Amino acid sequence: MVKKARRAATEIKKFEKRDLAQVVINAAYLVACADGECEASEKAKIEQVLRNQPALSAFTSEINAISATIIGQLDTNF
């Protein structure tokens, strides 16, 4: 029972931080694309930095999806 409670508490904390993760990821790509283009090397570096951030460790499986969304929006100029 205690194990389930801890797991539930962890999931709640993860849910609470999801918006922050999305903001951090989106901001990274917006800054990289501020000059009008975002090269593959910039995208690769962003992915590397995001994956090594302890604050985003709970979202490693979601980083690709969030990144793909913002890249798609930036590529189509919103």
**78 pLDDT tier (thresholds 50, 70, 90):** low
- In this predicted structure, the answer to whether residue 18 has a pLDDT above a threshold of 90 is no
Q: What is the mean pLDDT of residues 28-38?
A: 90
Dihedral of CA 30/36/41/43: which sign?
A: positive
Distance CA 65, CA 21 (A): 12
- In this predicted structure, the answer to whether residue 22 has a pLDDT above a threshold of 80 is yes
The proportion of the chain whose per-residue pLDDT surpasses 90, expressed as a percent, equals: 41
